Structure 1
Amino acid sequence: MDNIILIIGKVKFPITLDPSVWIFDDRKQDLHSYFHTKDEKNNPLEEYTKSISKHWDREIVEGAVFPPTLKSEKKFLKEKLLTGTFCIGFEPFLKNAEIQEDAEYLVIETRDSEVKIPIAEANELVLGFSKDGKPLTEDGPIHIYFGDGSNFEDPIKFVKAFRVE
């Protein structure tokens, strides 16, 4: 139960977060490259078009059968999951909790203290949940980074809950 984090307070739906399952979430990103590629706005339609084009080009050149390189690509992706350092944005979780209109702050409850930030900044938070392929068991279950990366070297650790006030 130490790995479970709650979003409570002025929300329509209190939410329970389990960072151990985020490794399977398609929204996860590599933490090291997150703050460097954040400025590049991703257009989902453009990404989809590029993906389909790449697949189409591959079929034209190599045929419709799966080439031997597909196995090595899968192996590479599996290796990346086992050794990567990952994060996920906090905004979708806040959106699903449906914050009440009169809420002003998000209080991050840690083992030793509380950190209070405005709701507008809370939407930009990034939650780190894996380092070198392993969950953050010693000082986790998550590390919290500000959206601008200003606390990248010293994230908020030992998070227990999020309280909307």
Structure 2
Amino acid sequence: MIIQIKGNVKYPITLDPSVWIFDDRKILLEDAFKDKVIEKNEEEFSGQDSNRVKPQVHNSIKKYNKDELLHRSYVMPIYDFIGNAEINEETESVQLETSEEVIDITIDQLNSGLLLFSIEGKQIKENGPAYFLFGDGSNQEAPIKGLKVIHIL
């Protein structure tokens, strides 16, 4: 299952959350709403245009703790993908299209958003492939499920 970023962007993008488990940008869900973790990741990946095309892999060469990957929940910050899509300046809002509804959010909410893609080491199949969480954690108990399209208006 995939998620599309399309609409008022220079480059429409298709996201495949099933491959993010080995991506260095992932964050443990339990750490996701701690300001230092988000800021560290933003600093680490902002301004590195070459990483937008090719994410860093030198850290990925390390051996992963199999137990950690198979038993923890992870989120992926969405801002790098939005940067790759290059949103047009006249963009006013965003619609998150799910399998059941369309939800309007702001650009700021999108940029600070997180995509929950792994729960207890398992890929999200039911209402997946990822759940959208607001960066402030306000919908952590009731994430936006069934995300199919991020439509930039």
TM-score w.r.t. length of structure 1 = 0.76
Give aligned pairs, total.
133
Tell me which of 2, 5, 26 is aligned to 2:3.
5
1:126-146 Cα distance to aligned partner (Å, 9 max, x none): 100000110110121101110
Match of 2:28 in 1: 30
Give how far 1:118 is off: 1.2
The residue type paired with residue 152 of structure 1 is Q
The residue type paired with residue 8 of structure 1 is K
Where does the alignment leave 5 or more consecutive residues of structure 2 unmatched?
A: 45-62
Q: Which has the larger radius of gyration?
A: 1
Where does the alignment leave 5 or more consecutive residues of structure 1 unmatched?
A: 45-73
The residue type paired with residue 22 of structure 1 is W
**Whole-Å Cα distance in 1 between the matches of residues 93 and 131 of structure 2?**
19
The yes-or-no answer on 1:89 pairing with 2:72 is no
The residue type paired with residue 99 of structure 1 is I
**Is the helix fraction higher in 1 or 2?**
1
**Whole-Å Cα distance in 2 between the matches of residues 133 and 22 of structure 1?**
12
Match of 2:124 in 1: 136
The residue type paired with residue 147 of structure 2 is V
Identical positions, percent: 44
Give how far 1:24 is off: 1.1
Tell me which of 90, 94, 101 is aligned to 1:113.
101
